Chain A
């Protein structure tokens, strides 16, 4: 699995939908006849992947929202995994 470039602009994969489900207190990723319940940090990363922001910008936003630092590697690892699973895609 390749690690995603910090300049890439990930966006939700085709056929997927991300939404907050109050009944599950979680973000869920919906796709044909299936659902993935995301944990808190996965949900926070995914909802920022709008195709406009780069991985670096997403990371900076998360670090400022949660007043923390050093998220770079974790965010890149999650996004790389999500791209490999087609949850996210990077359009050229």
Chain B
């Protein structure tokens, strides 16, 4: 343990990735590309123990995600236990598998919030834009969510292939009765990173989409709140990823692997502990992999001497690793990074009319 690092606060935010199984094959999924090689999923009893131990440390916000969490038939039991313990429970779902019986049971179990994500592949995008199958599924689920008195929160992942349809997407969201729409530009990890050159929009596309969103906001008033999340590749300073690794976020992967961020599994040299072997308390406070990126002793220049390091914590460790090969480097999104050209070159490539076209790789078992 690094002696200069004071004892961190509790893992306030707990994300359980209950399963990597998912009926969808999204090209922008951030799950690990080798997810099919991960070991057996935790049992219900394991998940309940994780909840008790994390809650005892002070965890209070709970995300239930995956994969598609509805694939687990013990989701209702997990939500019930979490609610009893005092967690605020958030279900992050594609809605596939969410019928009235299950939503009623989840509500009764104490589920606080549902975030419906819009799944997407090129075909489904076309379905969606032409109001066919996907739209019908989403509308049905959206109506159910409202019937059970939840705010209707729709999350749509944007990328090069759908960003020009922002207006249609917003109209669809409106006709579904969405209260909140999050237009989240793809973050490039996992499958999305593999597909980056096909998914990264051009700056012009991005600006057009933002302008369209702003116009839509002005015309449609306050009934539907719209959030537009700009992709960090177009920024000059990195995001304060995870509020600094190991400061508030704790993710448990389907096989019990404990991670300081849901993408961190790919970072080499960090032997992330498993909840089957260790308590959440020893994982959070004592494991070398959780302590590794706490404080700033791990930082290299230009972060180490930068006054902004307390604000952005050097950005994202996973992005630094994916782009530069070293997770301790400054996130190359920062224009002070000697590797910033890797980001600007990727953006430039997305604007070139002579782009090489790679086939899209759909998330799949392989």
Task: Write the residues of chain A forming the contact surface with B, with a CB cutoff of 8 angstroms.
Answer: 14-15, 17, 19, 21-24, 28, 30-35
Report how far A35 CA is from B112 CA in the complex, Å.
13
B184 CB to nearest chain A CB (Å): 13
> Which residues of B, 2-30, contact A by the 8 Å Cβ criterion?
10, 12
Q: Is the CB of A30 within 8 A of B10?
A: no
Contact of B153 among A14, A17, A32 (CB under 8 A): A32
Report how far A17 CA is from B12 CA in the complex, Å.
15
Residues of chain A within 8 A (CB-CB) of B90 are 32-33
> What are 26 residue pairs bridging A and B, where the CB atoms are less than 8 Å apart in the complex?
A14-B151, A15-B112, A17-B88, A17-B112, A21-B58, A21-B60, A22-B58, A23-B10, A23-B58, A24-B10, A24-B58, A30-B60, A30-B88, A30-B112, A31-B88, A32-B88, A32-B90, A32-B113, A32-B151, A32-B153, A33-B90, A33-B115, A34-B61, A35-B12, A35-B61, A35-B88
A84 CB to nearest chain B CB (Å): 14
Residues of chain B within 8 A (CB-CB) of A17 are 88, 112
Given A23-B10, A35-B12 in contact, is the A30-B58 Cβ separation under 8 Å?
no
Instruction: List the 5 shortest-distance A-B pairs measured between CB atoms, nearest first.
Output: A23-B58, A30-B88, A32-B113, A23-B10, A33-B90
CB closest residue in chain A, given B88: A30
Which interface residue of A19, A32, A34 has the most chain B CB atoms within 10 A? A32
Interface residue total, chain B, C-beta cutoff 8 A: 15
B56 CB to nearest chain A CB (Å): 9
Residues of chain B within 8 A (CB-CB) of A21 are 58, 60
B57 adjacent to chain A (CB < 8 Å): yes
Residues of chain B within 8 A (CB-CB) of A35 are 12, 60-61, 88
B288 adjacent to chain A (CB < 8 Å): no
> Which residues of B, 62-99, contact A by the 8 Å Cβ criterion?
63, 86, 88, 90
A31 CB to nearest chain B CB (Å): 8
Report how far A31 CA is from B113 CA in the complex, Å.
9
Q: Is the CB of B60 within 8 A of A32?
A: no
Contact of B113 among A15, A23, A28 (CB under 8 A): A15
Report how far A14 CA is from B10 CA in the complex, Å.
27
CB closest residue in chain B, given A32: B113
Report how far A22 CA is from B153 CA in the complex, Å.
31
B356 CB to nearest chain A CB (Å): 38
Contact of A33 among B58, B63, B86 (CB under 8 A): B63
Residues of chain B within 8 A (CB-CB) of A32 are 88, 90, 112-113, 115, 151, 153
Report how far A32 CA is from B151 CA in the complex, Å.
10
Contact of B151 among A15, A22, A23 (CB under 8 A): A15
Given A30-B60, A33-B63 in contact, is the A19-B113 Cβ separation under 8 Å?
no
CB closest residue in chain A, given B55: A23
Which interface residue of B10, B61, B63, B90 has the most chain A CB atoms within 10 A? B61
B68 CB to nearest chain A CB (Å): 19
Q: Is the CB of B151 within 8 A of A30?
A: no
Q: Is the CB of B86 within 8 A of A19?
A: yes
Residues of chain A within 8 A (CB-CB) of B113 are 15, 32-33
> Which residues of B, 102-120, contact A by the 8 Å Cβ criterion?
112-113, 115
Residues of chain B within 8 A (CB-CB) of A22 are 58
